[in-house]
Amino acid sequence: MTSASPVLSARRLEVAYAGNRVLQLDQLDIRAGEIVGVIGANGAGKSTLINALLGWSRGRPAVTGDVTLSGRPVGRLPTHERVRAGLLLVPESRLVFSRMTVEENLTPAVAPVDEPGRRYYRRDDVYELFPRLRERRHHLGGQLSGGERQMLGIGRSLMMGPRALLLDEPSIGLAPMLVTQVLQSLRALASAGLAVLLVEQNVRAALQVVDRLLLLERGRLVLQGPAAEVGVDPRIAQAYLGAHTA
């Protein structure tokens, strides 16, 4: 289900730390129903991209460029207002509330706003997506496996009515089977109309679910295309998939 106008767009996005430019991206568009993957070596600027879209950073970078969400310019808004508008980062899995049960973690944090293009998941919707969480609903967040915590983090974001969902290396530390399960859940969410930006170091796993893949090198977009094409590009195959030269 792809629609013409992008849900999330960025134009001429540039980020610099202390005059040192670490990201320069002319154009990024993610449509409803689409998963766009971003890969690249450590330090390539992947997290910087996500943070710039959200207007957040650990440091004090100079950020320029335009960000729009469902046609609305959000690039001048503080992070919490972008979140309220439906631009949601799935938190690192260690950030779920470890002393609350799964059920308590899945308590609505915001009152749903009735806007087209937004779906606020309820707890039962999250359980339907991740049956494992229903089984674990009385367990504390701190007792969950990495994969379960990741599901919980996604679930919490879904309850906030995302238009676009951003994930920064969600597969880190997960058992291979759970990597597949978590990433496949993104496929289901995209099919239901969400726009997804997935930063992944597990390129092989990412290629199984993304529609398009972007390769960043030193803050620049050096390659992009449909997963099927990019996945067989020698630059990707050799550097990121560990493939032998043909």
Residue numbers at the binding site for ligand ADP (CB under 6 A): 17, 22, 40, 42-48, 58-59
Q: Which does 105 bind (CB under 5 to 8 A by kind): ligand ADP, Mg ion, none?
A: none
Name the DSSP letter for residue 99: T
Kindly provide the b/e burial profile for residues 141-172, where b requires at least 16 CB atoms within 10 angstroms of the residue's own CB: beebebbbbbbbbbbbbbbbbbbbbbbbbbbe
CB closer to Mg ion out of 102 and 203: 203
Q: Output the residue with the shortest Cβ distance to ligand ADP.
A: 59
Q: Two tokens at 117?
A: 């293009």
Name the DSSP letter for residue 243: P
Order of strands across the sheet that contains 164-168: 72-73, 62-69, 8-17, 20-30, 220-226, 212-217, 35-39, 195-199, 164-168, 87-89
Q: How distant is the alpha carbon of residue 188 from its chain centre?
A: 14
Q: Which does 71 bind (CB under 5 to 8 A by kind): ligand ADP, Mg ion, none?
A: none
Nearest distance in Å: CB 40, ligand ADP:
5
Q: Which does 58 bind (CB under 5 to 8 A by kind): Mg ion, ligand ADP, none?
A: ligand ADP
Nearest distance in Å: CB 130, ligand ADP:
26
Cα(66)–Cα(53) distance, rounded to whole angstroms?
9
Residues forming contacts to Mg ion in the complex (CB under 5 A) are 46-47
Nearest distance in Å: CB 212, ligand ADP:
18
Nearest distance in Å: CB 216, Mg ion:
10
Q: Which does 99 bind (CB under 5 to 8 A by kind): Mg ion, ligand ADP, none?
A: none
CB closer to Mg ion out of 47 and 101: 47
- Contact residues for 143 (Cβ-Cβ < 8 A; gap 6+): none
Q: Write down the H helix ranges in 6-100.
A: 46-54, 79-84
Nearest distance in Å: CB 177, ligand ADP:
25
CB contact at 8 A, 121 and 155? yes
CB closer to ligand ADP out of 47 and 181: 47
Nearest distance in Å: CB 40, Mg ion:
9
CB closer to ligand ADP out of 34 and 168: 168
